[in-house]
Amino acid sequence: MRGGERAPEAAGDTLAYAELKAFEGRAAAVAGRGKDPVNASMIRHWCEAMGDAHPAYTGPDQVAPPTMLQAWTMGGLSGHEGRSDAYDALLALLDGAGYTSVVATDCEQEYVRALRPGDSITFDAVIESVSERKTTKLGTGHFVTTRMDVRADGELAGTHRFRILKYAPAKKHGVAGERGSAGRREAVGRRPRPVINRDNAGFWEGVAAHRLLIQRCGDCGVRRFPWLPGCNACGSAEWDTVEASGEGTVYSYVVMHHPPFPAFDPPYAVGLVELAEGVRIVSNVVGVPYDKVRIGMPVRLEFLRVDEELELPVFRALADAASEGGS
Ligand code: ZN
C-alpha cells in the first residue's frame, strides 16, 4: 500500500489506486439530450423558487439564469439514455472496497454562452478525476469528479463539475446496521439532534423551560417561526418573543412511510400545525393513529422527553378529535 495517512479500518486495503485512476477520462454520459428545450415556463418557476426578479429573465430578450445550467440536463425519475457503464462500475468498485457511503461535496459551473428559450440541449459527461485516498472528518475514501459539457444547439454553453466523496464512515459516527458496541447502536437509534446556533438558541432555551417561543418583530410586530435573525416583512433585526398559548390546529400533514430511519418507526404522521398566534410549526401529532390525523384537527402543545438530553414540542390531538379514531 501507499504511504501517508492510512485508513483506520480495512476499507480499501485491497483496492489499488491505479485501478481507480484508470477510470479518469472515461465517459459518464454520452450524447445526453435535455428532456425539454430551454423554455420560459421552467425559467419562470426557477425564478419564483429563487426569488430572483432580475429583468433579464423575462420579456422578449429573455435569457435563462446561468445557474439553471444543470436543470436543463436533469433526467428526472425516469433517467436518461446514454448513461455509460463506467460511472456505475467505478461506484461499484468503491462500494466493493468498503467505501459504501456517498456525499456530494461541491459543484462548479462555468458559463460560456447564454441560454435562451428554444435552445435544444445536449450534453456529455466524463469522469474527470478520482483522487488518491483521503481521510476526512466523515471517513476515508476517494473524491470522484465528473465534468458535464452542456451544449445548446451544438455549441458549448457551459460546464458543470460535480464532486462526490465515496467513503467508509469513520467508526465513531456509527452506521445503520453496523454491529458495534451497545453504545454505538444506541447512538444510531437516537433521534437526530437539532442544530442549535445563535439564531435559534432562544427557541431551544424556551423548549427546555417548556415554553414555545415565537419571535415578534420589534418594528412591525409580525410574528415569525421558525426563528430567523431578521423580519421577512420589514427586514428589521429587532425582535422579542411571545409565548405560544399551545392551542393550534393541523394545517397540513404527511405520513412518512419511506425511507426508514433507525430512530423512527414508520408509518408516522408529521404535522404542520398552525398555532393560535398565526405561525406554523412542523412537529409530530401524538395521541392519535397516524391515519386519523386530519386537516383542521385541534391540537394542544406538550413537551415530549425523547431521551436524556432531547426534549421536543409535539402536539396532542384533543380528545374529541382523537376519540373518533380510537386511542
Ligand atoms: Zn418586521
271-326 tens-digit pLDDT:
999 999 999 999 999 999 999 999 999 999 999 999 998 999 999 999 765 555 44
Q: What is each CA distance from 248 to 5, 212, 274, 277, 285, in whole angstroms?
A: 55, 12, 5, 8, 11
Q: d(Cα 127, Cα 326) in Å, to the nearest integer?
A: 56
The Å distance, Cα 302 to ligand 1 centre, comes to: 29
The Å distance, Cα 246 to ligand 1 centre, comes to: 23
Q: Where are the beta strands (DSSP E) in the chain?
A: 27-33, 101-111, 121-130, 134-135, 139-152, 155-169, 213-217, 223-224, 239-243, 247-256, 268-275, 280-286, 298-305, 311-317
Q: d(Cα 68, Cα 46) in Å, to the nearest integer?
A: 8
pLDDT classification of 46: cutoffs 50, 70, 90: very high
The Å distance, Cα 270 to ligand 1 centre, comes to: 29
Q: What superfamily would CATH give domain 17-171?
A: Hotdog Thioesterase (3.10.129.10)
Q: What is the reported pLDDT for 31?
A: 85
pTM here is 0.53
* Per-residue cell: 224: 415569525
Query: Which regions of the chain carry the CATH code 3.10.129.10?
Result: 17-171
The Å distance, Cα 215 to ligand 1 centre, comes to: 10
The Å distance, Cα 217 to ligand 1 centre, comes to: 5
Digit-coded pLDDT (tens) for 7-44: 444 455 567 889 999 999 999 888 889 999 999 999 99
The Å distance, Cα 227 to ligand 1 centre, comes to: 13
The Å distance, Cα 213 to ligand 1 centre, comes to: 17
Helix (H) or strand (E) holding 94: helix 85-96
The Å distance, Cα 263 to ligand 1 centre, comes to: 38
Q: In this model, does residue 184 exceed pLDDT 70?
A: no
The Å distance, Cα 197 to ligand 1 centre, comes to: 22
The Å distance, Cα 232 to ligand 1 centre, comes to: 7
Q: What is the mean pLDDT of the chain?
A: 87
Torsion of CA 265, 269, 270, 272, to 10 degrees: -170
Protein residues within 5 Å, CB atom, of ion ligand 1: 217, 219-220, 222, 231, 233-234, 236
The Å distance, Cα 223 to ligand 1 centre, comes to: 8
The Å distance, Cα 312 to ligand 1 centre, comes to: 27
Min mean pLDDT across 86-100, 162-176, 280-294 is at 162-176
Q: What is the reported pLDDT for 44?
A: 96
Min mean pLDDT across 82-96, 97-111, 198-212 is at 82-96
